[in-house]
Structure 1
Amino acid sequence: MNIAKNMEAIFVAAIVIASATSFATAAVSTPVIAVKAEASAMQTVTVTAKRLTAAEKAAL
């Protein structure tokens, strides 16, 4: 199957799918509620490592 011959059909099919998806999602009236984490419960990561010297950086 030569894809260059069918490029117009592929383009039209993609537009139809995109249009149907946009109309389907536009019909949803209730907004999606995201759950937020508490600011005090945020996890932190502490990295304790020595810095490379100039000689070690040059060796990399």
Structure 2
Amino acid sequence: MNIAKNMEAIFVAAIVIASATSFATAAVRAPEVITVKAEATEMPTVTITAKRLTAEEKAAL
């Protein structure tokens, strides 16, 4: 089957499918968005207690 000869039919079929789906989804209601707010009073913090690597140690890695 030569696609070049059937390109017009493929294009028309794609337009028909796109139009049908746009009309089918036009009547669908938009979903409701529910927002939930966290009631955290303190922000968790992370404390790192480690020594920094020296230049020689970094080079060894």
How would you bin the TM-score normalised by the shorter chain? 0.5 to 0.7
Pair member with larger Rg:
2
Dislocated runs of 4+, deviation >3 Å: 34-40
User: Residues 3-48 of structure 1, C-alpha deviation per residue, up to 9 Å, x if partnerless?
Assistant: 00000000000000000000001011x21134556466xxxxxxxx
Q: Would you tell me which structure has more helix in proportion to its own residues?
A: 1
Amino-acid identity (%): 71
TM-score relative to the length of structure 2: 0.52
Q: After TM superposition, list the pairs within 5 Å mapping 1:7-46 onto structure 2.
A: 7-28=7-28, 30-34=29-33, 36=35, 38=37
Task: Give the number of equivalent residue pairs.
Answer: 41
Provide structure 1 residue ranges, at least 5 long, that are not aligned to the other structure: 41-49, 51-55
TM-score relative to the length of structure 1: 0.52
